[in-house]
Structures are given as C-alpha cells and as structure tokens.
Amino acid sequence: MTVKVQLFIDGTWVDASDGGTLDLVNPSNYELIGQIAVATDADIDRALASAKAGFDIWRKVSAWDRAAILRRAAGLIEQRKEDMALRLTAEQGKPIAEARSELSRSAEIFVWCASEAIRSYGRVYPQRVRSGRQLTVKEPVGPVAAFTPWNFPVVLSCRKLAAALGAGCSIILNPPNEAPSAVAGIVQCLKDARLPPGVVTFLTGNPAQLSERQVNAPEISKVSLTGSIRVGKLLSQMAGAQLKPVTMELGGHAPVVVFEDTDIERAAALTAGFKYRNAGQVCLGVSRIFVQDSIFDGFYTAFAKHVEALKMGNGMDPATTMGPMANERRVEAMERIVADAVERGAKVTHGGKRRNDGCYFEPTLIRDLPDDSLLMTEEPFGPVAPIVSFKTYDEVIARANALPYGLAAYAFTGSLKTATDIADDFEAGWIGINEFTPSLAEAPFCGFKDSGLGAEGGPEGFDAYLKTKFISQLAV
C-alpha cells in the first residue's frame, strides 16, 4: 500500500505550496507506506479564508439539505469501508476487525447528526403584549478549528465533522500525522456527497504551527480538541484570551472496581477485552483495576488467562487480537512505566517487554504495586494492566477519585445499592456498571476535572457548535 495524503482546501486536493512532505510509516513493520503534505503558513492562510467563505455559504443552507448531505456521506463511508479500514490498519496498527468497526461507528455518527440537524429547535415565549413575539433561535457558532489524535483517528474526526456540519459550521480538520489517510477518505466522501467547497478543510503538518495559527486567527470562532491534557490546557489558554468557546476531550486514567459480589469470570473477561483493545490506546480504557481482597486471587487468575490468549501481531492478520502500538514513543513510554513499577517492588507476571520487529509491546500484567507508582498515577495509554486489592467501599472510592483525571470509571457488582452508590460517587463523566460501552453517537461524552471541558456526542455535543439568539419583535 502506497498513499499520498494531500491538503484539502476550497474543495480541492492540493500539495503543500512548497512541496514539503513527511513520511508515513507502518508501525507493525516500520515500512514506508506513503507521504503526507506539510502545510505552510500560506496554506493555512488560504485554508482560513476558504473556511470563512464556506461558512457564509453553508450557514444559509437549510437544515434539511445539510442533513441530506450528511446521510449521503454516511452511505459512502459504508460503501468504502473496506478500503479505508485497510488504510487505517496499515498506518495505525489496530486489528482489521477493529478498523472496520471504527468506520461503521463513524457512519453511524453521520446518520445521527443528520437527524439532529433538523431538531435544533428554538423556543417561542408566551406573549407579554398583543402583536408581539419573543423567541430564541439557534445559529451555527462559525468556522471551527478541530484537532484529532491517532488512537481513533476516524471516529474522533467524524464526531467533530458531523456535529459541526450538521449545525451549519464550516470546519478545518487537523488529523494526526501518524494516521491521516483514512480520515482523508472521510473528507472525500463528503466531497462526493456534494458538500460545497470551503465547508470542510483538511490540513496536515507541524502540529504547533497548525494549532497556533488557527486558534489565534480571527476567522476561527470555536476550537475543538481531542488530545492530551497538556495540549488541551495550552489551546484553551490561547482560545480563552480571545473568548472563543472550546470543547476539550482530554486524557483519562479510568478505574475499574470489582466487588466480591460479582461474577468473577465475566468481570475478568470483559475487563481484559476492554483493556487490550487498540493495544490499550483508549482514553476511555481500563487503566487501574481495583479488586476486593476476598476475590483478588481468583480474579487475577481469570484475567491472566485472557492475557495469555491474546495474539499480538500485524493487524492485517485476521487472527491478530492486539496489534502494535501506534508509534515508537508509546513503546518507550511503556518501558519507562514498567521499569518504575519493578523498582517499586511490583511483580510483572505477564509480558513487560518490547518486540523489535515493529512498535510492539507485550500485553502486560502487574500486581503488588503502590498507588504512587507511575502506572497508577499517569495515564499509561498502552497494554499494561495493574491489578491491586482493596478492602472497603470507602477506601476504594477514595483511591479511585484521588487523581486529577475524570474521564471514565467502571464497576462490577451484583448489588443494586452498590451500583447506584458508586455511580453517584465516581468523579467521572462516563460511567459503566457491569459493562464497558464505547462512546455512542447519541450520548454525551464529557470529562470532569483535568479530563476536559464541554461534551462531544449526543445533543450536548451538537449544541456545542450552536449559539442562541433571543429575538423580541413587535408589530407596529
């Protein structure tokens, strides 16, 4: 597979103005699979002007017509899913089955946002005077600068694209340099669905240059990022200086609390499956596993069996259940995290090592580590699972909530009271009780504490691309 990822500006795919490119590498074997364009300042300025002009057109298109384009795009995504899934696996590493699932979820988001576009209702207030009307209407906020990461590059891009377009905004999409070609395929679907030029722009290149120039540009009215806490705070500060609204979906370090009254085998199977999905590179994913001491050994043994059954390899192999990590930086981070755990007296019972024929790190299981270790305090974002014990409810809820993260949290229990109490007591925006649910098109996804600002998904995420106008009218 050889790909060439260009910029998409004013409805046309173009090379960077100076011809600059970066290599695109397959993380499973380090093979060069293509080049991506590196936008210059001049390219970014052209993109900003195009997005402003595109917004002036798109905002006047009826919600019904916007919805029709989104539905056509969804149909094209499904038709072209196999080609884009192959590209996604080649550039990001995830198993091909996971790539196909990501494309299907992306099409679903477009369908849902198409329907939500025609439900952006305002309100009419009871009359205070005869011949008077007072009402609110919702309008698109304006051109959006959107930045997405490499772990789920397609679905996270589509959450921003579909909501912004459904609301009537134009959008400049900045996908990850590590995995842009499948996202480029989504943009092509929108072009082929007859989206007007300028409404969607696609830029790759230097992340700092792209973000600083766009966030500070007067043409941009809103900023949306899915990324790290560090970058989220930086972009929020830049946007805040100009009072631009932001949506920030940032890092997480999700606890899983397994109580003694649960089905151990089921809890272990579900937790292991969710933990090693996408090689553990999931912001909603399992990061800290707390197991009540009376069932600790049984749960640990059951969990370990699922770790041993994983097949690590090239994502193109249908038998692979865990692919490589997306880049060498994440492999090095896993080595650092495991070394710290060992230094602190933890036991690595499974995995713990890299494999040198690609960006592979073994599915790893660690026990007997302290709460102040790197693995328990920093988001690992990789296939390393810590399992620790707890005694009481009050103890574990304090430990689960102790960090500045608040993206997701999970629990397994057979008690309705415990399930209700812990759902109330978890300090996180996404809660799972006796199950793990990937983000849904119709449900809001929002982080507490350092894990984010605002929401993506659901009506709340759609409304983030709208502003409310109050109108008072009197017939004279």
**pLDDT per position as a tens digit, 145-171:** 999 999 999 999 999 999 999 999 999
Mean pLDDT of the chain: 97
Q: pTM for this one?
A: 0.96
Predicted pLDDT at 351: 97
- Residues annotated as part of the active site: 249, 283
What is the percentage of the chain residues whose pLDDT exceeds 90? 99
* Domain residue ranges of the chain, discontinuous segments joined by +: 3-250+450-474, 254-440
Sole residue written with tokens 């650092």: 336
Confidence of residue 422 (pLDDT cuts 50, 70, 90): very high
What's the CA dihedral at 329, 333, 335, 338 to 10 degrees? -160
The reported pLDDT for the residue numbered 326 is 94
Query: What's the rounded mean pLDDT across residues 197-209?
Result: 98
Nearest C-alpha neighbor of 438 from the set 254, 311, 259, 265:
254
β-strands 32-37, 21-25: how paired? antiparallel
Phi (first) and psi of residue 132, to 5 degrees = -115, 150
Mean pLDDT along residues 232-255: 97
Query: Can you give the pLDDT at residue 208?
Result: 97
Sign of CA dihedral 86, 87, 91, 92: negative
Residue 292 · residue 412 · CB < 8 Å: no
462: number of Cβ within 10 Å:
24
CB 27 within 8 A of CB 358: yes
Q: Is residue 390 pLDDT above 80, yes or no?
A: yes
29-79, pLDDT tens digit by residue?
999 999 999 999 999 999 999 999 999 999 999 999 999 999 999 999 999
Radius of gyration of the chain (CA): 23
Cross-sheet strand order for the sheet of 384-390: 347-350, 364-367, 384-390, 286-292, 254-258, 408-412, 430-433
pLDDT band at residue 1, thresholds of 50, 70 and 90? low
pLDDT tens column, 333-370: 999 999 999 999 999 999 999 999 999 999 999 999 99
Residue 114 reports pLDDT greater than 90: yes
**Which residues, listed in sequence order, are joined to residue 3 by a DSSP beta bridge?**
34
Are the beta carbons of 203 and 43 closer than 8 angstroms?
Answer: yes
Burial (CB count <10 Å: 0-12, 13-18, 19+), residue 328: middle
* Residue 285 DSSP class: S
Q: Does domain 254-440 match CATH 3.40.309.10? A: yes
pLDDT band at 439 (very low <50, low <70, confident <90, very high): confident
Single out the residue of 204, 117, 95, 94 nearest to residue 157, CA to CA: 204
pLDDT at 438 over 90: no
The rounded distance, in Å, linking the Cα atoms of 56 and 69 is 17
Helices (H), 177-327: 181-192, 207-215, 229-240, 264-275, 296-309
pLDDT at 96: 98
Domain with residues 3-250+450-474, CATH architecture: 3-Layer(aba) Sandwich (3.40)
**Percentage with pLDDT > 70 across the chain:** 100
